[in-house]
Chain A
Amino acid sequence: MLETGPDVTIYSFRLYVAGNTERSQTAEVNLRFLCEAHLSGMYEVEVIDAVERPELAEEGRILATPTVVRLTPPPQRRVIGDLSDHGRAAIALGLPAADASPSEGQ
């Protein structure tokens, strides 16, 4: 677990994939890359494989994979796809502007 101060926002993501495929790997790599760039390590990513844990996919009502769900901070956001377009993905997930490119993001 991350050590956080009281006023630091932790971004928590759940990534649903289906099987250990190239697309699954691409999605996870892209998500982690975005998190590193925009959230400076203040994030959690949980990967759920719908093939291994179909009941969790059922519970989350997941149809398409990959799907990323931003659990915190509220409001919840969902994005489908492998996040290969980093700019659009960051906006869709509501990430704060990256350190390297302050003009991007919210």
Chain B
Amino acid sequence: MTDSNAIGRIPTGIDGFDHIALGGLPAGRSTLVSGTTGSGKTLFAVEFLSRGITRYNEPGVFVTFEETATDIRRNSASLGFPIQLWEDEGKWAFVEASGSISEDTPAVGAYDFGALVARIEHAVRQTGACRVALDSLNAISTRFTDIAVVRRELFRVASALKALGVTSVLTAERPEEYDGVTRYGVEPFVLDNVIILRNVLRQGRRTRTVEIVKFRGAPHRTGEWLFTIDPRGGIVVVPLAFLTPSDHASLARVSSGIPELDEMCGGGFYRDAIVLMTGPPGTGKTLASLRFTAAGVEAGERCLLCTFDGTPGQLFRSAAGWGLDLKAMRASGLLRVMSGYAEVMSPEDHFLRLRHAIEEFAPGRLVVDTLSALERVAAPRTLLDFVIALGAVLRQNEITTLLTGTPAGRVSSANAPLITSDIAGLSDVWIQLRYVESPAEIRRAIAVLQARGSAHDHSIRALTIDGSGMHIGEPLSGVPHVSTGPVDPEIARGASESEETEGPAR
């Protein structure tokens, strides 16, 4: 590895992380991973090596200063990392430096970490390791109290790793969130690349984030990115604010389940479309979701119906009221219903659960009714992240998706409508349901505000709901005033914004 401006990357293989790192960790260099207790540092280090072995066939050396090798083997086994097996195969080696020197080992005169360096070099040569993890530097800092020596010797270790040409992860503990990088403020000066893992309480919920503070000479994404720890698969960084650009867009159309709505959208939704349907309570969002689901099942597609409010029983009952037999659909194997209150877990875990279901069930259609329920547990920004992350999964799998939402949210905060327009910007089709006032009555109306790649109907049409379902009628041209709720100006603004951002958002 030379010091030219082209720094190679080593993909960590950690789910989602390589996206924000723009390819991975700088190759042949050391990266400091710093965080408070319980922030996931050791897991990051273990996964970096494990993924190296399973995905890239790159052996690794794990230098442990804190936990014993036995503990690490045991804790990793539950995540599906058979370290013992890899050790037997010569792909993984421990350099066990934990508790090797009791706390009261006296120091008399000058010393260095020559033996440690020699042991690491030996293990790297024996396994042919490309990756090295050191966990954690603090154990050294507490054992060897002379800060100047520790700093000098960490530099020696980092230089030795560089000379070996390995890519390494060094973990360090920081005392508090948002206060310096590590305990002694020593390590960042030694290392060119710094990542911070955080585990903080936000709005009453534990939130894990990862931030790349610096990669010297190498670009990366900035800011804090949500991640969660999947007990079955380790760290999952929720890939925010970017979508995998799709090389091809589907030209096939599928039915919304409402013939008139298909017509308004230019002949149905594209198969890979993400459809956002917004409207105040009682305008027919759930009914539309059920029609959309039923149309999928009729076409022989697997449908995943996800509701964050109430129980399946309530949903089945209201479906039966519209003449839709969800139980029969479920019995056919084409329908899976996920339900549960939004409050039971964090948005990241909801995302993870949904993604598992998508991978397992491989649906052709997905319904989320309603996103607004998640607002109760998520900050507006987090909700947006949820949709973005979900969108990446959906587009990759060409799943026709209907998301519903209440535009003003439950809390009429000022930024809720802005989020609606942001989510609309990420969607392909935006359908708005609303109430319309006429002198004698309040009627329901439907409008397609946006339908990418389609000539769509721009009119606002009457919407009626009766025992036989949802019916869309004539344009409401005679109505002088469209009900102007507090959201309307924002929606108008959102619509124009989403057109401008169409390019980068895709």
Q: Which residues of A contact B (CB under 8 A)?
A: 16-19, 21, 23, 26-27, 30, 50-51, 54-55, 57-58, 61-67, 78-85, 88-89, 92
A50 near B108 with CB under 8 A, answer: no
In the assembled complex, how far is the CB of residue B74 from the closest CB belonging to chain A, in whole angstroms? 20
Q: What 19 new A-B contacts, CB under 8 Å, besides A54-B119, A63-B116?
A: A16-B115, A23-B110, A50-B114, A50-B115, A50-B119, A57-B119, A61-B100, A61-B101, A62-B115, A64-B101, A64-B111, A64-B114, A65-B113, A78-B101, A79-B106, A79-B108, A80-B105, A84-B108, A89-B109
Q: B114 contacts which chain A residues (CB < 8 A)?
A: 17-19, 21, 50-51, 64-65
Whether the Cβ atoms of A63 and B101 lie closer than 8 Å is yes
Residues of B within 8 A of A (CB): 95-97, 99-102, 105-119, 121-123, 140, 144
Write 6 A-B pairs (CB below 8 A) sorted by A numbering: A50-B119, A51-B118, A57-B119, A61-B96, A63-B97, A78-B105
| Distance to closest chain B CB from A49 (angstroms) | 8
Q: Are B97 and A88 in contact (CB under 8 A)?
A: no
**Interface majority SS (helix, strand, loop, mixed), chain A:** mixed
Question: Which residues of A have CB within 8 Å of B102?
Answer: 78
Please name the residue on chain A nearest to B121 by beta carbon: A54
Q: Report A-chain residues with C-beta under 8 Å of the C-beta of B108.
A: 79-85, 88-89, 92
Q: Which residues of B contact A21 (CB under 8 A)?
A: 114
Contact B110 A81 (CB under 8 A): yes
Are the C-beta atoms of B109 and A67 separated by less than 8 Å?
A: no
Q: Is the CB of A18 within 8 A of B115?
A: yes
Min CB distance B76 to A, Å, is 21
- Interface-central residue, A23, A55, A61, A83, by most chain B CB under 10 Å: A61
- The smallest beta-carbon distance between B217 and chain A, in angstroms, is 31
A17 closest partner in B (C-beta): B114
Partner of A61, one of B97, B107, B111, B112: B97
Task: From the candidates B95, B116, B122, name the one contacting A64 in the complex (CB within 8 A).
Answer: B116
Closest 9 CB pairs of A and B: A18-B114, A61-B100, A54-B122, A84-B109, A81-B109, A82-B109, A50-B115, A50-B118, A65-B114
Q: In whole angstroms, what is the CA distance A105 to B278 when docked? A: 85
Q: Which residues of chain B come closer than 8 Å to A50, judged between CB atoms? A: 114-115, 118-119
Residues of the A chain whose Cβ atoms lie less than 8 Å from the Cβ of B97: 61, 63
CA distance A89 to B107 in the complex (A): 9
CA A55 to CA B144, docked complex, whole Å = 23
Q: Which of B105, B111, B122 gathers most chain A CB within 10 Å?
A: B111
- List of B residues within 8 angstroms of A92 by Cβ: 106, 108
CB distance from A38 to the nearest CB of B (A): 15
- Determine the chain A residues whose CB is within 8 A of the CB of B109 once the complex forms: 26-27, 30, 81-85, 89
Q: B111: which A residues are within 8 A, CB to CB?
A: 23, 64-67, 80-82
Check A80–B100 contact: CB distance below 8 A. Answer: no
- What chain A residues lie within 8 Å of B101 (beta carbons)? 61, 63-64, 67, 78, 80
**What B residues does A30 contact at CB under 8 A?**
109
A81 to B100 CA separation, bound complex (whole angstroms): 16
| A57 and B115 in contact, given A64-B144, A81-B110 (Cβ under 8 angstroms) | yes
- Pick the contact of B115 from A67, A78, A83, A85 — CB < 8 Å? A67
**Are A88 and B106 touching (Cβ within 8 A)?**
yes
- Alpha-carbon separation in the docked complex, A15 to B110 (Å): 14
Q: Do A64 and B112 form a contact, CB below 8 Å, given A58-B95, A78-B105?
A: yes
Shortest Cβ distance from A21 into B: residue: B114
Task: Report the minimal beta-carbon distance from B227 to chain A, rounded to whole angstroms.
Answer: 32
In the complex, A79→B109 CA distance in Å?
A: 10
Q: Which residues of B contact A88 (CB under 8 A)?
A: 106, 108
Residues of A within 8 A of B110 (CB): 23, 81-82, 84
Q: How far is the CB of B136 from chain A (nearest CB, A)?
A: 14
On whether the beta carbons of A54 and B105 are closer than 8 Å, the reply is no
| A30 nearest in chain B by CB position | B109
With a cutoff of 8 Å between Cβ atoms, the chain B residues found around residue A65 in the complex are: 111-115
Nearest residue, chain A, Cβ from B110? A82
Distance from A76 Cβ to chain B, minimum over Cβ atoms (Å): 10
